[in-house]
C-alpha cells in the first residue's frame, strides 16, 4: 500500500470509533428491552450487560483521549500482546 500510514491509522481509528458507537447503541437497546432504566422491583437484567456497556464506554473514551492528543513516543511503544 502506497498511502500515508497516518491516514490509514486515522481511518482505522474512525472505524473503531464507529463500531464502538454501534455496539453501545445495541447494548442500550438491549438494556431498554429488559427494563434497565425502569425502577421496578422486578428488574432482572443481567449485571454483565452493565459491565460490558461500562467497559465499552471506557474504551471509547480512551480512544477519544488518544485522538485528542498527539501520540508521544511512549504511546507509540504500547501494543497489545495477543495470545497465539
CA 55 to the chain's CA centroid: 7
75, 84 in Cβ contact below 8 A? no
Residue 80 has pLDDT above 80, yes or no: no
Which residues, 6+ apart, have CB-to-CB distance to 41 below 8 Å? Answer: none
Residue 70 is given by DSSP the state P
Note the pLDDT of residue 41.
Answer: 58
Report which of residues 70 and 67 the model is more confident about: 67
45, 34 in Cβ contact below 8 A? yes
| Per-residue pLDDT tens digits for 26-68 | 878 877 777 666 666 565 667 777 777 788 888 888 877 777 7
Amino acid at each position: 500500500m502506497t498511502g500515508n500510514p497516518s491516514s490509514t491509522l486515522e481511518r482505522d481509528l474512525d472505524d473503531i470509533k464507529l463500531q464502538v458507537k454501534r455496539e453501545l447503541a445495541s447494548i442500550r437497546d438491549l438494556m431498554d428491552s429488559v427494563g434497565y432504566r425502569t425502577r421496578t422491583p422486578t428488574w432482572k437484567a443481567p449485571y454483565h450487560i452493565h459491565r460490558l456497556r461500562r467497559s465499552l464506554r471506557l474504551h471509547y473514551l480512551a480512544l477519544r483521549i488518544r485522538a485528542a492528543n498527539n501520540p508521544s513516543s511512549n504511546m507509540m511503544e504500547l501494543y497489545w500482546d495477543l495470545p497465539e
